[in-house]
Chains A and B, each alone.
Chain A
Amino acid sequence: MKEQLEQIKVNALAALDAAETPAALEELRVKLLGKKGELTAVLKQMGKLSAEERPVMGQLANSVRAQIEQKLEDRKAAIHAAVLEAKLAAEAIDVTIPGETVPLGHQHPMNQVLQEIKDIFVGLGYQVVDGPEVELASYNFTRLNIEEGHPSRDRSDTFYFTDDDSVLLRTQTSPMQIRFMENHKPPFCMLAPGRVFRKDEADATHSPMFHQIEGLVVDEHITMGDLKGALITMMRKIYGADSEMRFRPHHFPFTEPSCEMDMQCHKCHGTGEIDGQVCSTCHGEGWIELLGAGMVHPTVLENCGIDPDKYSGFAFGMGLERMAMGRMKINDLRLIFDNDIRFLNQF
């Protein structure tokens, strides 16, 4: 009987090792351990044994059973692992096949730049406002200290709706200075981006409609030094902390003193030339004009009921298209309003 058990064990372990599928394993389990299995058949003979032999054989039989069961479990695990491995191998895919396309829209490049600028100013405490594009001449010109007969009022420059030239398409975002000051008491910091219109035929650098960003700060004791500090801070946030800026006197009817702000050309570092050739970025000037600015003209403050002896302030205005074009190296303004999806999707 001992030999029988040993034989069963050896045979069973070999058979289990040879089994390759879960079905073959199950068949073996029934054959070996089932009610009609080999081991059971041997155990049924236990009754014939002596009392001394019985516990010994019982122990042996249990050990054989335990070893077979253990082997069965091990093989089961191994076969399942092999089956899973085979399944996973069969499921392998070419991961370089492109993903299912999820259409993604793009923000217009101009509005991307505008959003960035607005966020910077909001962070600096500026309130962003919007206003009418069809505007009264009094806001667009008169109250900004632009007198009757000024060339910018000409019908060759400005679009008009009425015979008396009193209603027009705003030529600048500066009327928002007046509209804001009418309804707000200092101190305030305002930013007014928007569409403006001038009678220029569309070409690579002109458009009858374009965008400006107007800024206005009014409080007691605002100085030209403050104007410089504020504009340098902002422009360095936009163009990088190492940007070199300069201010030049200029003329705007609604600011005095007035200035323009330039940034040193990052390509030629202000020399105006690269390898003996005229720098194509700044056209040899060494500087790139960024914006116009100035201290709010006392007459403009008076026009809005703000006492220029008590309050002062500064205003600035910049062209969005020029900034976006410079930033994104767009060489033709018409692309901006053409809205070709192949252009829009680049940004």
Chain B
Amino acid sequence: MKLNRKWLNEEFVDLSQVSDKEFVDTLTVFGQKVETYERMDAEIKNVVVGKVLSMVRHPNSDHMWICQVDVGKEEPVQIVTGAQNVHEGDLVPAALHNSWLPGGVHITKGKLRGELSNGMLCSFAELGLTQNDFPDAYADGIWILNNEDCQVGQDINLVIGNDDTVVDFEITNNRPDCYSIIGLAREAAAAFGKEMKHHEPVVKGSNAGSIYDYLDVEVPATELCNRYSSRMVANVKIGPSPKWLRQRLRANGVRPINNIVDITNYVMLEYGQPMHAFDYRYVSSGKIVVREAEEGETLTTLDGNVRNLKAGMLVIADENRAIGLAGIMGGENSEILDDTTMVVFESANFNGTSIRQTALALGMRTEASGKFEKSLDPMMTIPAVQRACELVEMLQCGDVLEGTIDVINYVPETRTLPLECDKINRLLGTDISKEDMVKYLNLLEIPVEGDQILVPSFRPDLVRMADIAEEVGRSYGYNEIPTTAFKTSTQGGYTKEMKLEAKAGTLCRGMGYSEIITYSFVSPTIFDQIRLPEDSPLRNALRIQNPLGEDTSIMRTIALPSMMDILSRNNAYHNKAVKLYELAKIYLPVEGQPLPEEPKMLLLGTYGANETFFTLKGELEAIFAGLRLKKTSYTAQKNNPSYHPGRCASVSIDGVEVGVLGQVHPLVAKNYGIDTDVYCAEINFTKLMTCLLPDATYIPLPKYPSVSRDLALVCDEAVTVAQAEYVITAAAGKLLRSVKLFDIYRGTGVPEGKKSMAFSLELRADDRTLTDTDSETVVNKVLAALKEKLDAVLR
């Protein structure tokens, strides 16, 4: 919401002695945050009113003139112009040497076809103005200032009305009253501890007749229209508004159009009450009906666009057709024209949510709808329409008819609140006297009678003690409230899962993996990209009904695609070796529950020259060891379509499957544009919480030495290391402390279709040194079992 300081100073509270910086800082800290502020004369520098003393033809040009211009200095300056509308004796804007015009245009002296020009004579467009700002000015040439109230040598900014500062406020949702000059003036006055001037609109009236003889208003849409007030003006003379009014509109970013439309815009700025003017000629049968649109009804709005309306949208209609989109924009069919002679002023209060939703649905937020959607004060319709009629009389552009039509569909509520000084001080941590509290509230125009606060209609946000505390607090000054330390003593900390997450992160980084953060929502195409079967339950994902786009329309049920996406992107950036991890939530719908489960997955993803299945597996094993998980087992998984069928393992702890690791299927990698081997692990981190070893306790270190026995076994290709380890472990008995694979060999000496696996067995007893016989016995048992179970023999 914009506010120009001159209007504030002239009409409401004179703060002309306060600098812009102080004004802005004070209001910001008072609770009306200033987003930006700008001097209106910032763009135009060194442009003055000049008087053309003489003009002679340029010797080298058939259209240029050499002018001697009095710019208020001792000597006149010579300026060359190509314009043809200038005459000797005219007052014109003269941009002098080293002057600035809007848009960063810099004017310096120079020669035009050999003749010195010490500047430039300006058109109004070159000064950032439009025909609407100065309706009498000549558009195609130099702006002639003869009829403006100005003196030679005067800064042109003063002629334009740029000696002003425009301040743009961020208005919070709870303060719709501040979407008006009056509302902001109230805040500004209170912030500086001053009283504000009020003006009660006075309409003299005329003998042109009564509104009741011309107009009938019906409001069947009672829910959507709280109040509809209107007055009429006859004998209207459409013309430009006076300069002071145009300047105020321009300062606030509103384009002047004609006196009647300008009046409605002026009142909207001043009171925050949007208004509309209909040409009475086009209000069929003199009847205004405020009703909901019918499905498929159309209306051409003032901007020339045809609007297709939906049932439930609020329209202003006459007997036959819609003539305006309530609270948003008027209809073209009833717009004020140059020959309009009779006008209906509408000053209404519409349901904010309805207006907002209609504006949104039609994609046409306007100044008016922006105000209505904040829910305005219904008490404002009458003062606003009165003010409009007062301005009509002031501008002498018509005769106001007798009477006001005022349809009221709401029950005005007067609210009182007790002034609870103790509670307020207790909440704020202050010691403010009742007198001061009353003074603060009164400055904000909130009356207090005894211990009762009479909440004004423009402050519907004041409902309970805490709301009053805020008014008192900000008047006292938030920054003046003593800073204290509360005494509550509580134990801070993390949940168990958070601690484990932190540990997992540290371990992953220790393995060289860097952390990524990816979106929770993904494209439905991910399932095909990772070759998930059509009937996979993971395809049952939560779907966002109003996504930004298809690419972010479902909540991921699997985190692999997010990892693949980032690996793919890094591959596209030509990053040669990449190791990434993420602790990523997935969202699994639960039948019969409104909310999904949100388990966390630990994802590892990598590609690069040295990466293999076993580097990733080794890293995962180290991470698991670091997390102190129970014994983990890996079994081949041949049917996971996202992974290489021969290089994929499911990961289980205590018989519970916790995840998968492997080489990503080359077809999946290809779907992500990666033509190198990619390895990923997906671990359900939430499940790991139940797989933790108990806290470690000390196991005595061995007293007796261990014995190592190496066995090289020849067996069928199909026999796995896990099978061999299982047989060895089972057969060896309790003397076996560890069994480790140290070599696999195929080739000379080993028959075709067979392989040699070499294991190292560590044997040890807790109570004695093992003898050769002890180890022989164990080895023989192991070899016998291997022969029997796996047909494996010593090489």
Residues of A within 8 A of B (CB): 102-108, 110-111, 115, 118, 121-130, 132-136, 149-151, 154-156, 159-163, 166-167, 169, 187-189, 195, 197, 199, 201, 208-209, 217, 219, 221-226, 228-230, 232-233, 246-251, 256-260, 295, 297-298, 312, 336-342, 344-345
| Complex Cα–Cα for A72 and B570 (A) | 69
Q: Closest residue of chain B to A336, judged by CB?
A: B517
Minimum CB–CB distance from B406 to chain A (whole Å) comes to: 26
B542 at the interface (CB under 8 A from A): yes
Residue contact A108 to B515, C-beta cutoff 8 Å: yes
Verify if B466 is at the interface (C-beta below 8 Å from A): yes
Chain B, 454-497, contact with A by CB distance < 8 Å: what is the 0/1 string? 00000000001111011001100011011111101111111101
- Among the listed B352, B428, B490, B498, which residue makes an inter-chain contact with A225, where contact means beta carbons less than 8 Å apart? B428
Measuring CB to CB, which residues of chain B are less than 8 angstroms from any residue of chain A?
Answer: 28-31, 33, 172-175, 352-353, 356-357, 360, 373, 426-430, 464-467, 469-470, 473-474, 478-479, 481-486, 488-495, 497-498, 502, 505, 508-521, 542-548, 552, 555, 566, 569-570, 573, 575, 578-581, 585, 587, 594-596, 598
Docked pose: A226 CA to B483 CA in angstroms: 6
Contact in complex: B492, A121 (CB < 8 Å): yes
Q: Are B514 and A345 in contact (CB under 8 A)?
A: yes
Main secondary structure of the interface of A (DSSP, over half): mixed
A213 to chain B, nearest CB (A): 14
Inter-subunit contact A133/B520 (CB<8 Å): yes
| Chain A residues whose C-beta falls within 8 Å of the C-beta of B596 in the assembled complex | 134
Q: Are B519 and A209 in contact (CB under 8 A)?
A: yes
A339, closest chain B residue (CB): B516
Q: Is the CB of A222 within 8 A of B483?
A: no
Chain B nearest CB, measured from A259 CB (Å): 6
**Are B545 and A341 closer than 8 Å at their CB atoms?**
no
22 A-B residue pairs with CB within 8 Å: A103-B511, A105-B508, A105-B581, A108-B516, A110-B517, A122-B494, A123-B492, A126-B492, A127-B490, A128-B498, A154-B360, A156-B360, A163-B545, A197-B521, A225-B482, A246-B29, A249-B474, A256-B469, A256-B470, A257-B470, A298-B466, A340-B569
- Contact: A250 with B492, CB < 8 Å? no
**Option from A111, A130, A219 in Cβ contact (under 8 Å) with B515:** A111
**Knowing A224-B429, A226-B484, A246-B479 touch, does A105 contact B570 (C-beta < 8 A)?**
no
Q: What total of A-B pairs shows CB separation below 8 Å?
A: 250
For A102, the closest partner residue in chain B by CB is B512
Known: A122-B493, A217-B488, A249-B474. A229 touches B483 (CB 8 A): yes
* Given contact pairs A105-B508, A134-B555, A188-B490, A248 touches B426 in the complex (Cβ within 8 A): no
Contact B492 A127 (CB under 8 A): yes
Which residue of the partner chain A has the closest CB to B506? A107
Assuming the contacts A103-B512, A105-B509, A251-B172, asked whether A167 and B594 have C-beta atoms less than 8 A apart, the reply is yes
B509:A125 contact, CB within 8 angstroms: no
- Top 7 A-B pairs ranked by shortest CB distance? A103-B512, A225-B429, A223-B429, A249-B31, A105-B509, A257-B470, A251-B172
Contacts A133-B585, A341-B580; A257 near B466 (Cβ below 8 A): yes
Give the chain B neighbours of A341 by CB distance below 8 A: 514, 570, 573, 575, 578, 580
How many whole Å from A328's CB to the nearest CB in chain B? 14
Q: How far is it, in angstroms, between the C-alpha of A332 and the C-alpha of B548 when the chains are bound?
A: 20
Whether A339 contacts B594 in the complex (CB less than 8 A), given A123-B492, A151-B373, A257-B466, comes out as: no
* Nearest-neighbor residue (CB-CB) of B585 within chain A: A133
User: Are B33 and A251 in contact (CB-based, < 8 A)?
Assistant: no
A339 to B572, CA, bound (A): 12
A295 neighbours in B (Cβ, 8 Å):
427, 466, 469
Looking at the assembled complex, report how far the CB atom of B57 sits from the nearest CB atom of chain A, in whole angstroms. Answer: 45
Q: A151-B373, A209-B519, A251-B175 are in contact. Are A133 and B580 (CB under 8 A)?
A: no
Please name all residues of chain A whose beta carbon is closer than 8 Å to the beta carbon of B544 when the two chains form the complex.
Answer: 159-161, 169
Q: Give bound CA distance, A344 to B509, whole Å.
A: 12
Q: How far is the CA of A213 from the CA of B493 in the complex (A)?
A: 15
Q: What residues of A have a CB within 8 angstroms of the CB of B505 in the complex? A: 107, 111
Given contacts A151-B373, A336-B517, A344-B516, contact A225 B484 (CB under 8 A): yes
Let me know if A223 and B566 touch, CB within 8 A. no
Q: Within the assembled complex, what's the spacing in Å between the Cα atoms of A224 and B473?
A: 9
Chain B residue at minimum C-beta to C-beta distance from A158: B546
B594 A104 Cβ-Cβ under 8 A: no
Chain A residue contacts of B546, Cβ below 8 A: 155-156, 159-160, 199
> Per a CB cutoff under 8 Å, which of A105, A134, A225 touches B542?
A134
Selected from A123, A221, A339, the residue in CB contact (under 8 A) with B569 is A339
Minimum CB–CB distance from A64 to chain B (whole Å) comes to: 52
Rounded to whole angstroms, the CA-CA distance of A208 and B514 in the bound complex is 23
- Complex contact A259–B548 (CB within 8 A): no
Contact between chains at A105 and B514 (CB < 8 Å): yes
> Contact between A338 and B569 (Cβ–Cβ < 8 Å)?
yes
* Contact assessment for A224 and B428 in the assembled complex, using a CB-CB cutoff below 8 Å: yes
Q: Which residues of B contact A111 (CB under 8 A)?
A: 505, 515, 517
Instruction: Let me know if A342 and B573 touch, CB within 8 A.
Output: yes
**Complex interface: chain B residues within 8 A of A159 (CB):** 521, 544-547
Give Cα A34–Cα B635 distance, bound, in whole angstroms: 72
Beyond A127-B491, A251-B173, is A195–B520 a contact (Cβ under 8 Å)?
A: yes
On whether the beta carbons of B495 and A129 are closer than 8 Å, the reply is yes
A160, B542: Cα distance in complex, Å: 10
Residue of A at shortest CB range from B470? A257
CB distance from B466 to the nearest CB of A (A): 4
Give Cα A295–Cα B28 distance, bound, in whole angstroms. 20
The CA of A293 and the CA of B93, in the complex, are separated in Å by: 52
Q: A161 near B543 (CB under 8 angstroms)?
A: yes
Which A residues touch B548, using CB under 8 A? Answer: 199, 201, 208
Complex: A193 Cα to B429 Cα, angstroms? 28
Sample of 4 further A-B pairs with CB below 8 A, known A102-B512, A295-B427: A103-B579, A132-B595, A154-B356, A160-B546
CA distance A128 to B620 in the complex (A): 28
Q: Is the CB of A297 within 8 A of B466?
A: yes
In the assembled complex, the CB of A230 is this many whole angstroms from the nearest CB of chain B, namely 7
Contact of A229 among B484, B510, B517 (CB under 8 A): B484
Given A103-B579, A209-B521, A339-B518, A249:B473 Cβ within 8 A: yes
Instruction: State A151–B28 Cα separation when bound (angstroms).
Output: 24
Q: Which B residues are in CB contact (< 8 Å) with A340? A: 569-570, 573, 575
- Inter-subunit contact B486/A226 (CB<8 Å): yes
Give chain B residues whose Cβ lies under 8 Å from the Cβ of A126: 490, 492
Contacts of A163 in B (CB 8 A): 545
- Which among A124, A188, A257 has the highest number of chain B CB atoms within 10 Å? A257
Complex partner residue of B511 from A105, A247, A342, CB under 8 angstroms: A105
Q: Which residue of A lies closest to B465 (CB)?
A: A298
Shortest Cβ gap from A193 to chain B (Å) = 10
Contacts of B510 in A (CB 8 A): 104-105
Please, which residues of chain A bring their CB within 8 A of the CB of B473?
Answer: 224, 249, 257
- Residues in A neighbouring B515, C-beta threshold 8 A: 105-108, 111, 344
CA distance A141 to B479 in the complex (A): 30
Minimum CB distance partner of A148 in chain B: B353
Q: Is there contact, CB below 8 Å, between A107 and B490?
A: no
On chain B, the residues within 8 Å of A223 by CB distance are 426-429, 484, 486
